Structures are given as structure tokens and as C-alpha cells.
Chain A
Amino acid sequence: SAVISQKPSRDICQRGTSLTIQCQVDSQVTMMFWYRQQPGQSLTLIATANQGSEATYESGFVIDKFPISRPNLTFSTLTVSNMSPEDSSIYLCSVIKAGSGANVLTFGAGSRLTVL
């Protein structure tokens, strides 16, 4: 299975600032996603990161708030813009690797953001 590295692993941010989270995979993957895991809540899909084109966002998430890049098959970034305390959450990168089975998601360890 793919090995995913996320940076930063955690951060404390000030209201109104933006933070970019990086996701690096050790091998080429077919699909990359970004999830949010709020305290005591389930995992919610934010968007699918598409290589070389705009990400596909789920209902309730917009590009202005969560811009995403995916310049190649192994790397993606998620930016949380103009943060508020409600954005305090764990942000998880996940991937599907070709040949792993259509639905086998592998997750990174997550980036825990606290917004003051």
C-alpha cells in the first residue's frame, strides 16, 4: 500500500490566516482526496484532487476556502484560507492506488489544526 506523509502534523494558527498542508505519497496513485475530521465527528470528504486541473469539491466546500493543487501523481496541497475557530479540525489526505481495489482508501496520519 502507499505510504503518505503529511506536513505539518499539527499547527496552531491565528484567526484570519491561511495554512497550506502538504501530502506526499511514495508512489504514483490514481486518485487523491482531502477529508476533514472534526472532533467527535465522522470523516467528511472535502474534495478530490485532480492532477493538472481544478479539484472537484463536495457540497458545502468551495475553492475559495479550500484551494487544492495536485501538480503530479504523488503530491497535493490543501490550503485552509481565512481560518476561523470553526476550521479547527484534523485534515486527512487519502489516496487510491491502482491495483489496490476500487474502494481501498489509504489515509495519511492527518494534520491537526487549531485556530485561535
Chain B
Amino acid sequence: QQQVKQSPQSLIVQKGGISIINCAYENTAFDYFPWYQQFPGKGPALLIAIRPDVSEKKEGRFTISFNKSAKQFSLHIMDSQPGDSATYFCAASMNSGYALNFGKGTSLLVTP
């Protein structure tokens, strides 16, 4: 059973545009929500993470928006660049534990 549902499965954005990836969860015990970025042939790497005590976290061009009541969180990539083309995974864990429940991933392509 998929505990974290991610959409869309794939996304094409023009350079300079905004990329938005959405995730939803059911388990209200989740208290840690990271996003991982994976390039072909590489392992996933932590991009940005948020805890439910804040509604937004921004790091450079990457922003997580968190809606606790809706049990949803999203990744926004501003001014998307071709170098951002990768697969993005959202995840969630409870009790700040290490057992991450990953979404199925979103393949992002940023066209020149």
C-alpha cells in the first residue's frame, strides 16, 4: 500500500518556468517530509526537507509548501533549468525516524 502518493508521474517544463510536484499522505503520524533528487545512474540525494510545524521552506530556487490540514505537500522549482532535469521523489517518515516511505517519483524534463 502506497503511503505517499505523488503526482504527476512526468512533467515537461520550459526553461525559466515553474515546476510543481505534489504529494499526499494519509498517516497523520508522519512528521518529516523530504524531497530527493535523482539523476540517471546516480543514487537519490536529499534536496530539501520540511517538518509539519512550518508551512513553507525555501532553499534557493526550491520551495516546499506544506498543508497539514489537507495532508499534502509540494515541491516548487522556480526558474527551472535544464540541469534540474531529474527524477524527484517525495517521502515521509514518522517519529522523525529513518524509515522513509517514498512516492513513486516524478520525471522532470526542462526544455531549453
Residues of chain A having any CB pair with chain B under 8 Å:
4, 31, 33, 40-45, 58, 92, 94, 96, 102-110
Q: How far is the CA of A58 from the CA of B6 in the complex (A)?
A: 22
Residue among A31, A33, A107 making CB contact with B44, cutoff 8 Å? A107
- Contact in complex: A43, B98 (CB < 8 Å): no
- Least Cβ–Cβ distance between B63 and chain A, in angstroms: 19
Known contacts A94-B43, A106-B46; can you find 9 more A-B pairs with CB under 8 A? A42-B102, A42-B103, A44-B102, A103-B49, A105-B100, A106-B43, A108-B43, A110-B42, A110-B43
- Contact in complex: A43, B45 (CB < 8 Å): no
Interface of B is mostly: loop
* A4-B2 contact in complex given A41-B104, A103-B97, C-beta closer than 8 Å: no
- Least Cβ–Cβ distance between A48 and chain B, in angstroms: 8
| Residue B70 CB within 8 A of the other chain | no
Residues of chain B having any CB pair with chain A under 8 Å:
2, 4, 6, 32, 34, 41-46, 49, 89, 93, 96-100, 102-105
* A109-B41 contact in complex given A42-B89, A102-B96, A103-B96, C-beta closer than 8 Å: yes
Q: How far is the CA of A43 from the CA of B36 in the complex (A)?
A: 11
Q: How far is the CA of A92 from the CA of B44 in the complex (A)?
A: 9
Residue among B43, B103, B105 making CB contact with A109, cutoff 8 Å? B43
Residue among B43, B89, B96 making CB contact with A4, cutoff 8 Å? B43
- Least Cβ–Cβ distance between A76 and chain B, in angstroms: 15
List residues of chain A with CB within 8 A of the CB of B46: 104-106
- Least Cβ–Cβ distance between A8 and chain B, in angstroms: 14
Most buried by A among B41, B43, B46, B98: B43
